[in-house]
Structures are given as structure tokens and as C-alpha cells.
Amino acid sequence: MPLPDTMFCAQQINIPPELPDILKQFTKAAIRTQPHDVLQWSAAYFACLSKGERLPVKERVEMPVATQKTDTGLTPGLLKVLHNQLSHKGTVEVTELEKKWKDLCLPKEQLKAILGLDNFGDMVHWMKFLALGCSTLGGSITSALKHACEILTKDPDGGPARIPFTTFSFLYAYLAHLDGDISKSEIETALATLQEEVQNEMVQPRNFLNSLCPPLF
């Protein structure tokens, strides 16, 4: 039996008052993040929203590098999203990291390659993973540390990108140790020289990118 024709008027349709703002914020988040799979990312977005968790959203649109002809997967903005979502845990289960990685539509093979750089097991030390992610972005230890400063800083966008010296020391020593070609004495000399230059125990990229600092490799 066919359903009767139904007439609707404005008085019959109840629009939740919060819906317009939810959709507006969602649209702005999608534009900033530019997910490769909008449906997959949207499911993660609303799941986090309903649970009161940090959203999988970039702080700003990332423009592709001029020489970038293909999608490289992880970007500084996406790594910062992961940091915002997971860093408070200290150590993260690999399964949870895999889920957050998938939510951002990142290639599974890239995560596997990063995890393969250290023997993490089922749990991942977050700051070590961040360091490895930055090395994937940067290619060299110096470039990786520059990315780390820009991701971890509390300075406003375009500021000096300062981070605590203790955090910098941990990241540098970890990456240098994994490199295998940098001796313990070279690591200690570089950090001692850098500490003499920094102010208020805060490091910024210009401190270790100048000619007075021993090369970090």
C-alpha cells in the first residue's frame, strides 16, 4: 500500500539548534585537513566529537612543497594532529596508533616502516615515535629536530619555535644513537655547546642551525 503524500512546512521540521554550528565547524575542519578519504575521516571526526576526544584536525591548511609531485603521506601537520591526540598518554598501544593513523588516511606501509626503525613491541614510547616521524619528514637529524621544534613549540605560528632544552636533548640523543655513526662524546659536545648558547633553557632552530654550533648530523 503506497504511503500517503506528506506535506511539510517550516513548523513541522525540528532542526536541532546546535546542528548549524556543528556542520560549520566540521566543514572548516575538513577544508583545513584535506583528508584523502573524506568518509573515513568524517567517521573518525564525529566519533572523537561524541567522545570529547581531540579531533583529527590540522590547525591550518598545509600547502604542498613546490617540488612535491606525489603524495608523501605523513606531513608536519598530520604528525602534530597525532601528537595532540596521543602524547598525553606517554606510551601508546600500537593498535591505538594504527587506528589514529588510519583515521588520517595515511598509508599503512609508512607506519610499518617507521615502527621498524626501533624495537617497540606492542607499546610505543610516544616521544621516540615523534622523533622517528620527524626524521621521516626531514631526512637528516638537523631537519628532523627543526620539524620537532615546530610541532612541539607553544610559540604562535611564525614564532621562534622554542622547546625545552631537556626535550631537545632527549630527541637528539635518541636519533643520534639510532644513527650509529655519531659517538657518545660527539653527542655530549654538541649538547654542551648548545646549552651555553640557549636562554632560559629553551632551544629554537636558529640555535642549532648556526655555524657556531657543532654539526648535529
Residue 98 falls inside a structural domain: yes
| Domain shared by 176 and 109, yes or no | no
Residue pair 76/61 in contact (Cβ under 8 Å)? The answer is: no
Specify the 3-state DSSP secondary structure of 61: coil
CA atoms of 89 and 92, how far apart (whole Å) = 6
Q: Is 146 among the domain residues?
A: yes
Give me the number of domains the chain comprises: 2
Q: Name the residue range of residue 122's domain.
A: 18-55+73-126
pLDDT at 69: 42
110, 36: one domain: yes
Strands 91-93 and 123-125: antiparallel
Q: Decide if 131 is inside a domain.
A: no
Is the domain of 118 the same as that of 185?
Answer: no
Helix extents (H) in the chain: 19-33, 38-51, 76-86, 94-103, 108-115, 126-138, 141-152, 165-179, 184-197, 205-208
Which residue is associated with the grid cell 511539510? 8
For 126-150, what is each residue's pLDDT tens digit?
999 999 999 999 888 999 999 999 9
23-75 pLDDT tens trace: 999 999 999 999 999 999 999 999 999 999 999 999 999 976 544 444 558 99
Calculate Rg over the CA atoms of the chain.
Answer: 22
Q: Is the pLDDT of residue 212 over 80?
A: no
Same domain, 176 and 119: no
Whether the predicted pLDDT of 9 surpasses 90: no
Q: How far apart are CA 100 and CA 129, in angstroms?
A: 14
Q: Per the domain annotation, does 13 fall within a domain?
A: no
Q: How confident is the model at residue 209 (pLDDT cuts 50, 70, 90)?
A: confident
Co-location of 115 and 84 in the same domain: yes
Backbone angles phi, psi at 21, to 5 degrees: -70, -40
**207 plus 172 within the same structural domain:** yes
Residues 152, 171: Cα–Cα separation, whole Å: 11
CA distances to 24, 41, 95, 105, 142 from 36, in Å: 20, 8, 21, 6, 30
pLDDT by residue (tens digit) across 167-179?
999 999 999 999 8
**Are 122 and 23 contained in the same domain?**
yes
Let me know whether 195 and 216 are in one domain: yes
Q: Is residue 192 part of a domain?
A: yes
Same domain, 111 and 22: yes
Is there a single domain that holds both residue 113 and residue 158?
no
Give the span between the Cα atoms of 201 and 189, in whole angstroms. Answer: 17
* Pair (103, 164) in one structural domain: no
Query: Is residue 8 assigned to a domain?
Result: no
Q: Is residue 11 part of a domain?
A: no
Residue 166 domain-assigned? yes
Average pLDDT, the chain: 88
Instruction: Specify whether 103 is located in the same domain as 22.
Output: yes
